[in-house]
Structure 1
Amino acid sequence: MLVVPIKEGENIDRALKRYKRKFDKTGRKRALQTRKQYTKPSIARRALVQKAQYVQKLRDAEEV
């Protein structure tokens, strides 16, 4: 459970922003999205390989 203490005289919007930031850092939202539908292991591996190729291409372009 996330707890965001609100300081005296603090704006509620600011506290809500801190809560959202904490929630994003926990990774719960991303985990829920990935569990929404099943992805085959071969598809997941293919996505990792494609991402690695993309990153490598960016690094190669940066060096030149």
Structure 2
Amino acid sequence: MLRIPVKEGENIDRALKRYKRKFVKTTVKNQLQERKQYSKPSVVRRVEIQKAQYIQGLRDAEEV
């Protein structure tokens, strides 16, 4: 569970903004989406390989 201490006199909108940033950084959203729908292990592995190939392609392009 995420806890955001609200400082004395702090605007609630500011605290909500901090909460949203922390929520995204902790990858809670990604975990919830993964649990929502089952993916076969072979599909998960294929997606990871595709991401790695994409990142490697970007790094190769930077070197040139």
- TM bin, normalised by shorter chain, reads 0.7 to 0.9
What stretches of structure 1 move > 6 A for 4+ residues in a row? none
How is 1:23-62 mapped onto 2 (pairs within 5 angstroms)? 23-62=23-62
Residue identity in the other structure for 1:34: E
Cα deviation for residue 16 of structure 1 reads: 0.6
SS at match of 2:53: helix
The one-character-per-residue Cα deviations of 1:29-54 (angstroms, maximum 9, x if unpaired) are 11010111111111111111111111
Residue identity in the other structure for 2:44: A
Structure 1: gaps (5+ residues) = none
The two structures have a TM-score, normalised by structure 2, of 0.85
The two structures have a TM-score, normalised by structure 1, of 0.85
Provide the identity percentage: 73
Q: Which residue of structure 1 lines up, in the alignment, with residue 14 of structure 2?
A: 14
SS at match of 1:62: helix
The one-character-per-residue Cα deviations of 1:3-41 (angstroms, maximum 9, x if unpaired) are 222222211110111111222232221101011111111
Structure 2: gaps (5+ residues) = none
Q: What is the aligned length?
A: 64
